Amino acid sequence: MVLEEIQMAKKLYVGNLSYDTTEETLRTAFAEVGQVETVTLVTDKMTGRSRGFAFVEMATEEAASEAIGRLNGQTLDGRQVSVAEARPRDDRPRGGGRDRQRSGGGGRRDRGYRSYG
């Protein structure tokens, strides 16, 4: 019995994108390296404008590695893009970069009321 190796798709992070870059532009650029499964251009909810980064899912790990090697640092729509393996959501820091304990507010205890008794 021969076991076939299961190929798994690999998600890549693509950053420093021009606001003019479209999903189709990304699909075309990455398709030159290997089979593209999905392209997700991240947009602002309020304006619908690109936020300057996207996720591209390549069909195989080999294609993903090739895409990182060939496209990282290359120019796309006038911008030098960065391409790296996407990190799982659980690996990212939470809280939007602000220190939650020093975010202000908090009621009376933070307003300087003291008891001198």
Tell me what pLDDT residue 89 has.
Answer: 80
Q: Per-residue pLDDT tens for 10-45? A: 999 999 999 999 999 999 999 999 999 999 999 999
Output the CATH code of domain 10-79.
Answer: 3.30.70.330
Average pLDDT score over the chain:
84
The interaxial angle of helices 23-31 and 61-71, nearest 10 deg, is 100
Q: To which H or E segment does residue 15 belong?
A: strand 10-15
Contacts (Cβ under 8 Å, ≥6 apart) of 101: none
Positive or negative, the CA dihedral 51, 53, 58, 60 is negative
Residue written as token pair 């019995």: 1
Tell me what pLDDT residue 88 has.
Answer: 86
Q: What angle do CA 42, 88, 17 make, to 5 degrees?
A: 30
3 band by pLDDT with thresholds 50, 70 and 90: very low
Look up residue 89 and give its DSSP letter.
G
109 band by pLDDT with thresholds 50, 70 and 90: low
Whether 80 has a pLDDT exceeding 90, the answer reads: yes
Tell me what pLDDT residue 33 has.
Answer: 96
9 band by pLDDT with thresholds 50, 70 and 90: confident
Of 7, 18, 10, nearest to 79 by C-alpha is 18
- List the alpha helices (DSSP H) in the chain: 23-31, 61-71
Tell me what pLDDT residue 111 has.
Answer: 56
